Structure formats: structure tokens, C-alpha cells
């Protein structure tokens, strides 16, 4: 099948499919004599696997590791379990971060409950004060798998 057909079957944009090829999550397809890519059912299955992993907020390196582990079906599944446990801990940490974010936003919103000018806005003052704290927190963010979820990656 052609890339457009694959994109339609998986609801994954063509650009994303090409990106997954580029970073090695999806094997390169065969080429027809006219140079067009020809995808097989194995590509479809791999893309659907990647899509399911991404829907669970797994990082590219986590998906890559799961793919590597799936290529040795007779191996012990302890590594898969450990990867999932690590990811689950990351999700729990993110939930805590989101709860803290919610509290901070609520506090900021309370700072501007009275009508006034933008110059007197408590929200803007609070946001300016928060910038320094947020910059230091972003450097401390734990990753799923070491080296993943760095700024600009996903």
C-alpha cells in the first residue's frame, strides 16, 4: 500500500509516518520501480503499536525499547514490566505536577478577583514572580527513560 493509504488506515499523518521512518521507529518500506514507497501489513501493525504507545504518553525511546523487546518473543517479560512500571511512576509524578499546577493557577486567579487596570493585575505580577521558579523546576523534571522527554523532544 502507498503512504496515503497507510495514513488513512491508521489516522496518522503522512509527515508523522515519514518522521517515524527517519528516527527508526518504523522500518523503511520497499520501493517500487517508480520509486514510490510500498508499505506492508507489518508497517501497518507497527504504526498501530506506536499509536497505542503514544496514546499512553510513552516517549520515543520507550517505544523503541518495547519494539526491541518484542523482537525476542521467547525472552522473559521482566524488562517489559520494568519499563511499564517506570512509565507508570512517571505518570504518577506528572499527575502530582498537574495538581500543583492547578493550585498555582487557582491562586493566581484569586489574585485578580477585583476589577482593576492591567498595571495593577495580580495575575501578571504573580506570573512574573513565577518565571524564576518555573525555570529551575523544568531542569529537575524526571524522564521516562533516561534521555527522553527533553525540551523539544516528545
DSSP-based three-state secondary structure for 37: strand
Residue spans of the domains in the chain: they are 3-55, 78-139
Q: What's the average pLDDT block by block, 10 residues per block, for the chain (154 residues)?
A: 95 97 94 90 96 96 94 90 96 95 84 69 71 55 48 41
Domain 3-55: top CATH class: mainly alpha
pLDDT at position 35:
86
pLDDT at position 64:
96
pLDDT at position 87:
96
pLDDT at position 138:
53
Q: Is 35 left (phi over 0), alpha (psi -120 to 50) or beta?
A: left
Distance separating alpha carbons of residues 31 and 52, to the nearest angstrom: 27
pTM, rounded to two decimals: 0.71
By C-alpha distance, which of 51, 146, 127, 140 is closest to 93? 140
Write b or e for each residue in 110-125: b if 16 or more Cβ atoms lie within 10 A of its Cβ, otherwise e. Answer: eebeeeeeeeeebbee
pLDDT at position 136:
55
pLDDT at position 150:
42
Amino acid at each position: 500500500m502507498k503512504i496515503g493509504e497507510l495514513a488513512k488506515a491508521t489516522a496518522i499523518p503522512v509527515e508523522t509516518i515519514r518522521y517515524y521512518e527517519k528516527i527508526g521507529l518504523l522500518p523503511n518500506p520497499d520501493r517500487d520501480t517508480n520509486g514510490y514507497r510500498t508499505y506492508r501489513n507489518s508497517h501497518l501493525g507497527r504504526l498501530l503499536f506506536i499509536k497505542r504507545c503514544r496514546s499512553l504518553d510513552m516517549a520515543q525511546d520507550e517505544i523503541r525499547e518495547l519494539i526491541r523487546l518484542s523482537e525476542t518473543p521467547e525472552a522473559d517479560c521482566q524488562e517489559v514490566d520494568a519499563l511499564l512500571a517506570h512509565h507508570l511512576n512517571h505518570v504518577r509524578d506528572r499527575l502530582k505536577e498537574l495538581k500543583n499546577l492547578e493550585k498555582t493557577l487557582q491562586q493566581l486567579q484569586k489574585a485578580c478577583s477585583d476589577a482593576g487596570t492591567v498595571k495593577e493585575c495580580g495575575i501578571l505580577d504573580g506570573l512574573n514572580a513565577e518565571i524564576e521558579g518555573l525555570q529551575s523546576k523544568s531542569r529537575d523534571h524526571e524522564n521516562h527513560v533516561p534521555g527522553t522527554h527533553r525540551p523539544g523532544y516528545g
